[in-house]
Amino acid sequence: MILPLTPAKILAAAATLPGWKVKRNALTKTFTFTSFREAFAFMVRVGFEAEAMNHHPEWTNVYNRVVIRLNTHEAGSRITARDVKLARKIEHISWVK
């Protein structure tokens, strides 16, 4: 069973993830690129990391903007260490901050 993080651990993790916010039981961030092509390339790269972790983001893409929302369904759609780990990988991948 995957357990959700405590509110204190969530806030501490979010503080180390530039631009990430805690909204409605999820870590969220909006990434704005210079073009659709860049946004889509970013999504492909994140998709490979997410698939390798078997942990898939909820996201939307409109032109050059990608909004990512992370929580864990197996933990009652709450934030877990898996979400923080994926957010860190996404930060490493992203060339916009």
Closest CA to 93 of 37, 44, 45: 45
- Amino acid sitting at position 93: I
Q: Characterize 86-96 residue by residue with b for buried, 16 or more Cβ atoms within 10 angstroms of its Cβ, and e for exposed.
A: bbebbbeebee
Name the residues annotated as catalytic. Answer: 51, 55-56, 73-74, 83
